[in-house]
Amino acid sequence: MSQPEQKNMNKMIAIAGAVLALILLLLYMQGTFVSKISPGSSPLLSESTLSKAETTLVEKKRVDDDFTWPGTVKSRIVANIAPKMTARIVEIKVNASDKVKKGDVIARLDEREVRAQEHVALAALAGANAQAIRAKADEQRTLGLYSKEAATRESLDAVVARAKEAHASVGQASSTVAEIRSHLADTLLLAPFDGVVVKRLKEPGDMGLPGVPVVTIQIPQGLRLEADVPTTCAGRYTPGMDVTVHIDALGKTVAAKIDEISPDVDSQTRTQLIKVALPVIAGLQPGYFGWLEQSCDQHEALLIPASAVQHIGQLEVVQVVSEGRQLMRHIRTAKRFGDQLEVISGLNVGEVVVSNLQQVK
């Protein structure tokens, strides 16, 4: 056999060997060369081990359907800081999350127009004062002449009337000045109490309008969790009812009480607003996210002890006692209820499982 023919023969033998090895590997993976056990169960422990096991009868019980409704921590006292007049916003001194004290300046409005009005009013007040002084002097002089019978009664009455009119003009001008100065004070938006800024709704240069908030301030004490709850479950709540709240940011679950239930139902989401009074919690702030926990309904469930379930990778298995033997059974579980787990597949009512699977050796 020539050398090229020998090389071709060796190549064919190598290819045939690789194909045979692949076939054998596939057969091995399918379990061809190992003894098989019926699917879903296998004997695990001896009878000596079985005697040490604690068993539990699989039963169907009614359990609560637990739900959690998302909510936001808010203050009981909230103030929207808005102008009382129409003017351009010149400056906003705070941002969201800033702490403020009562009387602190929150924002400043353009005061130039009000200042111009004040100047005009002050000039009018000065003119009224001058006229009042002159009228008073005329009154005193005429009164002296009248006492000497050098002036008539009609002249005295006219002078007295002018003096009263001038005095009234001074009062009116003073009121105008006071009103304008109150408008001048309104160009400063002040914090009504010690609190925290939770929203900044305007920017310098925007037009400030009466009743339209520039910022929102809350008091950090007396906090509540406000959650929208479906009407089917909201009807189970009553004011003063004890509930459980979980605060994500703090990783804490606390007992709380229902403070207020809104009678209004959202026409789109079919929910009602539930307000829960929170206890004093260190680090809790307005704006934190939380959960209102509730048992809204009940259903029947197969329950077994959590200690009866063993995890093998992604699988959940139990040992079922049948005819004096322990057989491994694959199951699927759902929610946990205390020290028990709900089984949704793999077990039937009346079967017996080893309840201390993790302790049995």
If one compares 106 and 43, the residue with the highest pLDDT of the two is 106
Residue 41 lies in a domain: no
CATH code for position 325:
2.40.420.20
| pLDDT above 80: residue 30 | no
Q: Which of 4-18, 239-253, 315-329 has the highest mean pLDDT?
A: 239-253
Q: What is the distance between the terminal CA atoms of the chain, rounded to a whole angstrom?
A: 66
- As given in the structure block, the two tokens for residue 198 are 């939770």
Q: Which of 8-22, 103-117, 289-303 has the highest mean pLDDT?
A: 103-117
Predicted TM-score (pTM) above 0.85: no
Kindly state whether residues 72 and 164 are assigned to the same domain: no
Kindly state whether residues 4 and 19 are assigned to the same domain: yes
Within 10 A of 175 (CB to CB), how many other CB atoms are there? Answer: 12
Question: Quick check: helix, strand or coil at residue 254?
Answer: strand
Kindly state whether residues 286 and 304 are assigned to the same domain: no
Kindly state whether residues 283 and 345 are assigned to the same domain: no
Residue 360 lies in a domain: no
Looking at 250, 278, 296, which one is the last position of a domain? Answer: 296
Residue 345 lies in a domain: yes
| pLDDT above 60: residue 40 | no
Residue 19 lies in a domain: yes
Residue type, 137: A
| pLDDT above 80: residue 1 | no
Residue numbers of the domain that contains 60: 47-65+299-354
CATH code for position 280:
2.40.30.170
Residue 82 lies in a domain: yes
For the chain, the average pLDDT equals 82
Kindly state whether residues 274 and 162 are assigned to the same domain: no
- CA atoms in the 13 A half-sphere facing the CB of 123: 6
Kindly state whether residues 60 and 135 are assigned to the same domain: no
- Please give the tally of structural domains in the chain: 4
Kindly state whether residues 191 and 286 are assigned to the same domain: no
Looking at 160, 180, 208, which one is the last position of a domain? Answer: 208
State the Cα–Cα distance between residues 112 and 122, nearest whole angstrom: 15
Kindly state whether residues 88 and 194 are assigned to the same domain: yes
- Supply φ then ψ for residue 50, to 5 degrees: -60, -35
Kindly state whether residues 290 and 311 are assigned to the same domain: no
Kindly state whether residues 238 and 289 are assigned to the same domain: yes
Kindly state whether residues 223 and 159 are assigned to the same domain: no
Residue 331 lies in a domain: yes
Q: What is the mean pLDDT of residues 279-308?
A: 84
Kindly state whether residues 110 and 227 are assigned to the same domain: no
Per-residue pLDDT, 314 = 84
